[in-house]
Amino acid sequence: MGRFMKNVEREEKMGMVIVSGSANRPLAEAVCGCLGIDLGRAVVGRFADGEVRIKEFPHVRGKHVVIIQSTNPPAENWLELMLLIDTAVSSSAKSITVVMPYMGYARQDRKDGAHSPIATRVVIRMIESILANIPSMLFTFDLHSSQTQAVSARPFENLFLSSTLLEALKDSDWANTVIISPDAGGVRRARAIAERLGSDVAFVDKRRTGPNQSEVMNLVGEVRGKEAVFVDDMVDTAGTLVKGAESVMDAGAKRVVAVTSHALLSGTAVQKISDSPIGRLIVSDTVFIPPEKKFEKLKIVSSASLLGKAIRRIHDGGEVSPLFDQAFSWL
């Protein structure tokens, strides 16, 4: 009881309340543990037909509300987020920070056909319409494309998890390691990481034949006799990643490791990776990974500490950018 009262007193002093939807409560609880406060009691329920409703919500009048909710499928995760935001607004929150550790629909950030929607723009505008005129900002990790930040009229912070994940490989011989992007779109990210580590860089030139489908065309860069580390923002069906790993091993690499921020692991992804030449898959906990998707090659690294530091800076009116400067401090 004493610890609970101390946490309540600290929460009152901070003027901040953190709540979570049901997408990834363990991460939200871990973040609160890093900040030394209790997770606000926001209870998301369902009617008999599955309709989402907010059953309980903490007292937030005049406070800074931080809502943590990843928006990976099912789409109800997005709806939960919208309802939590609206509840905070109608409860007279002073300001709101919307934290999506993983932002779903970020891949649909451009037209890929004459009559296709730009889904990224749609979901961000939905959030903004609910936030109305309340001071607010959006926060996420490793957007699929940084141009998504330009869609929002609100402050939108995008922090990278690469350093946190790569620390699991800190004893590697980086001079004999190649950082690899699984496609041309991620070359900029791979090059920036390789420069910090003193490693070479390569990428897989591929042709995409449809959503979640790709055909490896060519490996650009030298990998023979070296450790190969694939770095990407997400692993979904793992088709691209596995084909890329096979092409790298065929080119003479000694070993392949994959580092990816968001582990969606859809369909047969777990089996594909288990049967592939990938020696280890290092991911974060931005997406909740159920027991049935955990396997021997998988290593999960917590993002809670970094997220907690970011939330603290946002609440105190500071800049998040110093966290970029602290990246790779373990080198």
CATH 3.40.50.2300 fits 2-161+305-325, yes or no: no
User: What are the tens digits of pLDDT across the range 310-330?
Assistant: 999 999 999 999 998 889 999
Local structure of residue 220 (DSSP, 8 states): E
Give the Cα separation of 203 and 179 in Å (integer): 8
Q: Give the number of other CB atoms < 10 A from CB of residue 189.
A: 18
- In DSSP terms, 234 is beta-bridged to 262
CA atoms within 13 A on the CB side of 84: 32
Tokens of 155: 């402050």
Domain ranges of the chain: 2-161+305-325, 163-301
Distance from C-alpha of 159 to C-alpha of 164, rounded to nearest angstrom: 11
pLDDT-derived band of residue 10, with 50, 70 and 90 as boundaries? low
Count the Cβ atoms, other than its own, within 10 Å of residue 180. 32
Q: What is the CATH number of domain 163-301?
A: 3.40.50.2020
CATH topology match: 2-161+305-325 vs 163-301: yes
**Catalytic residue positions?**
206
The size of the chain, in residues, is: 331
Tell me what pLDDT residue 145 has: 77
Look at residue 31 in the predicted model and tell me its pLDDT: 98
pLDDT score at 132? 86
Of 82, 130, 85, nearest to 104 by C-alpha is 82
pLDDT > 50? residue 112? yes
Cα–Cα distance measured from residue 116 to residue 26, given in angstroms and rounded to the nearest whole number: 35
Separation of CA 320 from chain center: 16
Report helix, strand or coil for 156.
Answer: strand
Q: What is the pLDDT of residues 190-210, one digit of tens each?
A: 999 999 999 999 999 876 666
What is the model's pLDDT at position 115? 79
What is residue 252's three-state secondary structure? coil
- Span 126-162, pLDDT tens digits: 999 999 889 999 999 999 877 788 788 899 999 999 9
Exposure of 101 in the CB half-sphere (CA atoms within 13 A): 33
Indicate the pTM of the whole model. Answer: 0.91
The per-residue pLDDT for 46 is: 96
- CA dist 216 and 240 (Å) reads 8
